[in-house]
Structure 1
Amino acid sequence: MTIKKMIAERLGEGIAALGVPGAPTAEELASMLEYPPDDSMGDLALPCFKLSRTLRRAPVQIATALADCLAGLSCVGKAEAVNGYLNISVSHQYLTDSVLSGILDAGARYGASDVGCGKTVVLDYSSPNVAKPFHIGHLGTTVIGHSLKKLHEFAGYKCVGINYLGDWGTQFGKLIVAYKKWGDRQQIEEGGIDKLVELYVRINNAISGNEEKGIPADPALGDAARAEFRKLELGDEENLALWRWFIDISLAEYQKTYKQLGIEFDSYKGESFYTDKMPAQVQKLRDMGLLKIDDGASIVDLEPYNMPPCLILKRDGSTLYPTRDIAAAVYRKETYDFDKAIYVTSAGQSLHFAQWFKVVELMGYQWHDQLVHVPYGTVSINGAKLATRTGNVVLLKDLFKAAIDEVAGIMEEKNPDLENKQEVAEAVGVGAIVFYYLSNSRIKDINFVMEDALNFDGNTGPYAQYTYARTCAVLRRAGDMEEIPLQITENDEAALLKVLARFPEKVNAAIADYEPSVITRYILDVAAAFNRFYHNCQILNAEDATVRATRVALTRAVNVVLGNAFPLICLKTMEKI
């Protein structure tokens, strides 16, 4: 149980004793407890004016009464009423006996819970379009999605990570035309997805024209592409073979990126898998009278819900994204019986998800409220817009390589004798990019700046990883310590432990808000608190054996917390940097 929860429960008992109807619960009180901006105000504060109307008492009266009810609670060192606030200081003895020992005893399970035990979460994320490269725009869905998966697993949920590949659609007609017209199998086998992208850009330029390059528009190629895709839909063997080959080429490339990120998926079922599952859902909509014809297209009218109509079938009878998403959701519910299905996509798709979620509800599926859209903002480099059709992309593999090379250069200069330099450079370089991205609230738009991401002295991934490596260095030098009673004596020690005590609370908050940045920012708080402690307190050179043992134990606790937190945001732990 967290310190905040312990205090909230005791406060709840004190308020209940007043016998006032409608008094706040312990959970509500926990949410009211604040972390004061100044240490002189204690470690936690309850603004009692928030309770004044309910309890029909003045804030000062409430604060005084509640201070008395906290007397004797082991985690509270001091509780005092100050101007209508209840200021609470955590006991140093409790920090030593319960928090520090609790972290060391729990080890890899510190911060974890079983709140999700027996529940299943399906997460749909990454989901690149086949035959298109991973660019920086794909980073958000991939790392946010994986972070949410790791967070839910840490809380005891059974998680199913789904890579819903964009492996169907008219773009394959274009690619087939381009390959038959200009393609070379050997070149594509050797060049991989880059060669497929060249063909895709070339066919789009040829269809639409490109004034700058002097390429005239050729609409006939667009007709040919639609014809080739129709052949693919009808099972043409040659086109099916090409389509499968394009997927294999693409997946081989994607797997390299996933390996660098340490990401694995449980399913790669893409859009094509659901083509034979859509008719049943369309018929259900028709049978329920939900489907209406509008200018030849089949729609579900969502005007009563202040949304545009949801387009289910085009005029020619072909399906669209909502149709596929509904069919996929039904299949996943039947297959995994999820308690929650999370979709991580850009904020630009928010209306799309709101529409088909509403359609699922109108279809009578009782699990409609288990569908969750987690949107995120855009990302750019120096404001550059990204578009695969025109070839204007910043490839993720190029970004990773640039970061890895930069880190390798720094390490060669600062630590030339480091073992496994390439492995460390990759972990730090890739980690820097991911950490930079996840440091921001997911809904915010991000302009990526490489120099900022790779700064070892700033609020960055390299700084966090270096801090972890520093704890490892201290622990290596400390060796096996004699077991003696521990005791916190300095404010920097207590301040560090108070930060470490918040980890379970931060994990819960990150899950509740679908917000990995809660963990990223917390890691920076831990790093800052540890580095202050490291610079201000002698650890291995402390003269007193109890002080030395306590500080080594504190360092080990930081090592545990960072070691548990890093995987939650796709960051690798490196013992030496």
Structure 2
Amino acid sequence: MIDLKGIYTESILSALNGELDAQTIYSLIETPKHQHLGDLAFPCFSLAKAMKKAPIEIAEHLSQKIKGPEIDHVQPAGPYINVFFSKNEIARTIIPSILTAGAAFGSGEDGIGKTVVLDMSSPNIAKPFSMGHLRSTVIGNSLALIAEKMGYKAVRLNHLGDWGTQFGKLITAYRKWGVEEDVQENPIGELFKLYIRFHQEAETDPILEEEGRKAFKELEDGVEENIRIWTWFRDESLKAFMTIYDLMNVKFDDWNGEAFYNDKMGEVIALLEEQKLLETSEGAEVVRLDDKQLPPCLIKKSDGATLYATRDLAAAIYRQQEYHFDEALYIVGQEQTIHFKQVFGVLKKLGFSWADHMKHVPFGLYLKDGKKMSTRKGRVILLEEVLNEAISLAANNIKAKNPGLQNAEDVAKAVGTGAVLFHDLKNDRMNNIEFSLEDMLAFEGETGPYIQYTHARANTLLRKSPIEDVEFTSLSDEDSWEVIKLLRLFPEMISKAYTQLSPSVLAKYLIDTAQSFNKYYGKVRILEQDSELGSRLSLVQAVVIVLSEGLRLLGISAPDQM
């Protein structure tokens, strides 16, 4: 794809006498906020010292020297040199290349021959799938799709929370207050009630906590009845989770949860002992990480029980042996930052060079009334309910505005889930998000349905086209040029989203592209039969390709009609 910044860099470089190198020039080039100021701008401040002139003088002087076949004209504006490209010259390269590539447009080669594993979603079994797990799921899924677009083989791992003291507590609660028929009829709902009740009762009855720990110890020791109850809880949870994953069209390659690594932690402890990395601290076994300015990593508690870190070490070693990954991404909330620094630090101390290619991808929280959601306290919003409400709202909108729409049910599902997913992904992943059903389900403004509607509108134009074969020759209007410049950036935005491990880069780009196209649509009679009709329809087709593929990379469907 044509690199306008690269073209401008070369033109500036040839006009200078070695005062700046190409890389520096490229990094300084800006995009003006207003289109009347040109397509790109170069600030001359950094040349003042070397050229012994004021930046305004330098801009006046250099603007007369900058030339090139793709450049229409150059205009000094104070200390800036603004360049205006030859629109048709550039467009004749950009639009045909998009149409030729189709859905493959924007594909990269950085990941070819490489594997990336993504630890994502990872809900706790026997608990409802809450909004709290949405971010890990959708950010992880989008990063996996973007990685595949960059050429990687992406392996999606769902490290289920299916082990730990909480299951001893839940087994205890079920034995005391549970009714088998009720659990069979509504597994997650009933188990959730039992979990909340346990913690409520434990506030006034401390013995319950001891009973819960004892029940988990029996589970660890393989007591048959405890294993039977735990397996039942796990199986029912997975059935409920699959309903939600199917709604969001999210799939996994590996469902190994915490319990899977029970028999693999001994190997980790043996390795640590062999390399004399374990130390005793207050009866517990730890690995010191003072050299990394980190607190000690707790490997075994004083009672011999292993911890999250032990399991994550075992999981990392297993995944490297199983998948031979080149990169490993952990899409887990920012509150786990220290934990992952410790895990990666221990792996490096063990001599595993691949630990340098492991990254924690943190994100902010969903808040309810400014507070963190908590399943223990019952302060939780269920994701399935939010998705179903969004789909229902979309169905009502379709019924009101387009009652004859074919596949209305499928479109409602695509639009409803798209609203929820896009609302998450357009936010910078490090920001907390205050839960607002109204904002999430809004179909106007900077939303998923707005982009989907723009895509459907563009498809409608193509269906109404009076000509079959379209070819780009030239366009004379300014608004089409603004759209073309944005379409050109699609490969760059995909690469940037992966480099920054932030799907919001792509989401914000799609908003800009949809807004630019709608502005164009509002000003230009696209289907008017004149000499530029084929070029306008070529542009529309290119918009369809970019919006459809961009939404797909966010895990969102793009209906042809709405």
Q: Same fold (TM over 0.5)?
A: yes
Aligned to 1:126: 121
Q: Find the counterpart in structure 2 of residue 92 from structure 1.
A: 87
Partners of 1:472 and 1:348 in 2: CA distance: 44
Q: Is the 8 A contact 2:411 2:559 kept in 1?
A: yes
Asked whether 1:508 is paired with 2:495, we answer yes
Cα distance in 2 for partners of 1:104, 1:567 equals 18
Quote the offset at 1:262 in angstroms. 1.1
| Pairing of 1:2-41 with structure 2 (within 5 A) | 2-4=2-4, 6-7=6-7, 10=10, 14=14, 18=17, 24-26=21-23, 29-41=25-37
Aligned partner letter, 1:423: D
Alignment match, 1:211: none
State the Cα distance separating 1:55 from its structure 2 match.
8.5
Q: 2:414 aligns with which of 414, 427, 434?
A: 427
> How has the CA–CA distance of structure 1 residues 123 and 70 changed in structure 2, closer, same or farther, with 3 Å as cutoff?
farther
Correspondence for 1:555 among 525, 533, 540: 540
Q: How does 1:164-563 map to 2 (within 5 A)?
A: 164-208=159-203, 217-383=204-370, 385-478=372-465, 480-483=467-470, 486-540=473-527, 542-544=528-530, 546-563=531-548
The answer as to whether partners of 1:140 and 1:376 remain within 8 angstroms in 2 is yes
Q: CA offset at residue 559 of structure 1?
A: 0.4
The DSSP-based 3-state class of the residue aligned with 1:117 is coil
Which residue of 90, 98, 103 corresponds with 2:98?
A: 103
Selected match of 2:110 from 115, 134, 144: 115
- Structure 1 residues 4 and 363: alpha-carbon distance in aligned structure 2, compared to 1, 3 A threshold: farther
Matched residues in 1 for 2:279 and 2:160: separation?
30
Deviates most, 492-501 or 36-45: 36-45
What runs of 5+ residues in structure 2 fail to find an aligned partner? none
Q: CA deviation at 1:479?
A: 5.6
Q: Calculate percent identity across the aligned residue pairs.
A: 40
Summarize the Cα distance change of 1:255–1:479 in structure 2 as closer, same or farther, 3 Å threshold: farther
| Residue identity in the other structure for 2:30 | E
Corresponding residue of 1:214? none
Shift of 1:481: 2.6
Q: Distance in 2 between matches of 1:54 and 1:229?
A: 72
Larger displacement relative to structure 2 (296-305 or 157-166)? 296-305
Secondary structure at 1:160 match in 2: strand
TM-score (norm 1): 0.91
Map of 1:212 onto structure 2 = none
CA drift of 1:45 comes to 1.8
CA 484–395 in structure 1, closer or farther in 2 if over 3 Å, else same? closer
Asked if the contact 1:136–1:380 (Cα under 8 Å) also holds between the matched residues in 2, the reply is: no
Query: Conserved in 1, the CA contact under 8 Å of 2:5 and 2:40?
Result: no
Contact 1:121–1:340 (Cα < 8 Å) also in 2: yes
CA separation of 1:34/1:227 partners in 2, compared to 1, >3 Å: closer, same or farther? same
Contact 2:470-2:537 at 8 Å conserved across structures: no
Deviations 1:406-434 (A, max 9, x none): 22222222222222322222221221111
**Range that drifts further, 97-106 or 82-91:** 82-91
CA–CA distance in structure 1, aligned partners of residues 69 and 355 of structure 2 = 44
Letter of the aligned partner of 2:6 in structure 1?
A: M
Closer, same or farther in 2 for the Cα pair 1:361/1:249, shift >3 Å?
A: same
Q: Please give the alpha-carbon distance, in whole angstroms, between the structure 1 residues aligned to 2:340 and 2:558.
A: 36
Q: Which letter does structure 1 place at the counterpart of 2:549?
A: N
- Please point out which of 142, 149, 155 is paired with 2:150: 155
Cα pair 1:2 1:502 within 8 Å, conserved: no
- Root-mean-square deviation (Å): 2.3
Aligned-partner SS, 1:398: helix
CA distance in 1, matches of 2:253, 2:12: 43
1:392 maps to amino acid: R
Paired residue for 2:38? 42
